[in-house]
Amino acid sequence: MRGGALLVVVLLLLPAAAPGWGGLHAQVTPETPRLLGTEVPHGLGVYAVEFGALGGDGRGVAFTWTGGLPAGPDAGLRLRGGFGEGAGGEDAGFGGIDVWRRLTNPTDGLPVDLLWTTGAGVSVGEWTLISVPVGVTAGVSLAGGSVWLNPYVHAGVVFDYQTGDEAPEDDFEVGVATDLGVHVSFDRSRRFVLSAAAGLGDRQAVALGVVVKP
């Protein structure tokens, strides 16, 4: 519990630790890619990210901490944070939270699993971008021997609010969010899970990383 609490604090402070914090001039999308398959690996995740939704933004790093909720195994919570090259080539920092709940369990007749997802994220720069995503993830779980795959697709919308003296004129926008992704593990206990996702449409981004279960 102490280790998890420490990671929570670190993730919440990540935006403040972004390079050039004193002079950020741009944002990155704080919630994209969603990286939420229908079976979300628990533990610490580290990802290389290529941001591309805001025009001119680029590479960055994202960190996640995933755990359960008192509601049981059908609900979960994840903290995320990181930094990257924002629009215009300037440094940007972000942080946020993801929450999900299982809607269906796979059956022999319908092997597809569904999750309802939401959350909130903040990206800080010369102005502030606040994003609230809402969507549904559909995927399947495939296992054979020690190999496990969880390919999925996520679809939803993101409500953006931009504030600050230098914010764009359109302070409130609604965008379409679509992700394609996969979780892959080669050990039965799934202590190490490779994760890759691509955000499409209005929320373009690509991420590749690993989740390590403590």
Domains of the chain as residue ranges with CATH:
2-212 (2.40.160)
Q: What is the mean pLDDT of residues 87-98?
A: 80
pLDDT tens for 115-158 read 999 999 998 866 788 999 999 999 999 988 899 999 999 999 99
Task: From 74, 61, 107, select the one nearest 210 (Cα to Cα).
Answer: 61
Mean pLDDT of the chain: 80
- Residue pair 193/201 in contact (Cβ under 8 Å)? The answer is no
Task: Point out the least confidently predicted range of 34-43, 107-116, 152-161.
Answer: 107-116
- Taken as a whole, the chain contains a residue count of 214
At residue 134, φ and ψ (nearest 5 deg) are: -140, 130
pLDDT tens for 178-200 read 999 999 999 888 899 999 999 88
Q: How sure is the predictor about 89, in pLDDT bands with cuts at 50, 70 and 90? A: low
Q: Which residues contact 20 (CB under 8 A, 6 or more apart)?
A: 90, 91
- Is the pLDDT at 8 greater than 50? The verdict is no
Rg (CA), the chain: 17
**In sequence order, what DSSP letters do the residues of 68-111 get, joined into one string?**
EETTEEEEEEEEEEEEEE-GGG-EEEEEEEEEEEEEE---SS--
For tokens 């590479």, what's the residue? 59
Both structure tokens of 138: 């559909």
- Residue pair 114/81 in contact (Cβ under 8 Å)? The answer is no
Tell me how far apart the alpha carbons of residues 153 and 178 are, in angstroms, rounded to a whole number: 7
